[in-house]
Amino acid sequence: MLTRLISGIVMLAGLIVVVALGGPVLLIFTLLISLIGFFELVRACGVRNEKETFALPEAVGYVGILAFYGLLFFGKELMPTYGLMVIILTIMGMLLFYVLTFPRYKAPQIMAAGFSFLYAPVLLSFIYQTRTLPMGKYLVWLIFCSSWGCDTCAYCVGMLFGKHKLAPVLSPKKSIEGAIGGVAGAALIAFVYAKALTMFAGDLTLGPEILWTFPLISAVGSVLSQCGDLAASGIKRDHELKDYSNLIPGHGGIMDRFDSVIVTSPMIYYLVILLTGCLK
């Protein structure tokens, strides 16, 4: 527990600095955790054959990740046209190696490689994309309010009041009471955050409507964050893994710590645009 607490504090402090700085620093950070998350997923899902130290579909995924984040570096305005092209070419490249090396890889391995590319690197990119929105330096924190804030509140409420199992087979320790507490807690954290912004953020161009839009965005995001958490747990259980890796002492790997952030970040990005009028 002490190791988990210390590493958690260090990780949180580092994340605050990186997200606050934004720009190339945040982009490089997001790229790194995307590469590691992809690595953890393809290894967990058995994309590599038993005697392989490196799989060809995996190599295509790394190239696709670098190309995708390269587009973000050179200008987010390129993403609507060329971002989808990179995604399609990456999937097609994996299929090409499947065909040319058949029967070296099985269809489930190729599908797992494609899923891993879309699931971790592409979805995680929305942390950076949210940060680049107008007022993004304030809006990006909603991702963590609705994911890690929800995780903390759900854990506390579940420990105190949890009686009814949320997903008995998949995650026996999670309760319905904890899930509700996580949503309510995430909304409350977002409200407090919005209230603080209206009081202390002199350059904030968003109006007082953030007092209801921020909690709503965080509440919706927290529902998906719990879904992402359970989905990542399901993948581990399917492959009989305790953790995706031991990269973060006491926490596991990137996929163990960012499982809820992965699905929350794109939802927050689009909810922010819809509910605050914060256009790209």
Q: pLDDT 10s per residue in the chain (280 long)? A: 667 778 778 888 999 999 999 999 999 999 999 999 999 999 999 898 877 777 899 999 999 999 999 999 887 777 878 999 999 999 999 999 999 999 999 999 999 999 999 999 999 999 999 999 988 999 999 999 999 999 999 999 999 998 899 988 888 889 999 999 999 999 999 999 999 998 887 777 777 888 999 999 999 999 999 999 999 889 988 888 888 988 887 778 899 889 899 999 999 999 998 887 654 4
Residue 156 and residue 51 in contact, taking contact as beta carbons nearer than 8 Å: no
Q: Is the peptide bond before 80 cis (omega within 30 degrees of 0)?
A: no
Residue 212 and residue 220 in contact, taking contact as beta carbons nearer than 8 Å: no
158-196 per-residue burial string, b: 16 or more CB within 10 A, e: under 16: beeebeeebbeeebeebbebbbbbbbbbbbbbbbebbee
Q: Which two tokens stand for residue 164?
A: 């009814």
Residue 165, sorted as left (phi over 0), alpha (psi -120 to 50) or beta, turns out to be beta
Determine the Cα–Cα distance for residues 191 and 208; give it in Å rounded to an integer.
Answer: 11
Question: Residue with structure tokens 């995924």?
Answer: 61
Beta strands (DSSP E) in 74-167 are: 165-167
Domain locations in the chain?
22-132, 135-280
Q: Are strands 171-175 and 165-167 parallel, antiparallel or unpaired?
A: antiparallel
Task: Name 261's Cβ contacts closer than 8 Å, sequence gap at least 6.
Answer: 124, 127, 143, 144, 147, 148, 225, 228
pTM: 0.92
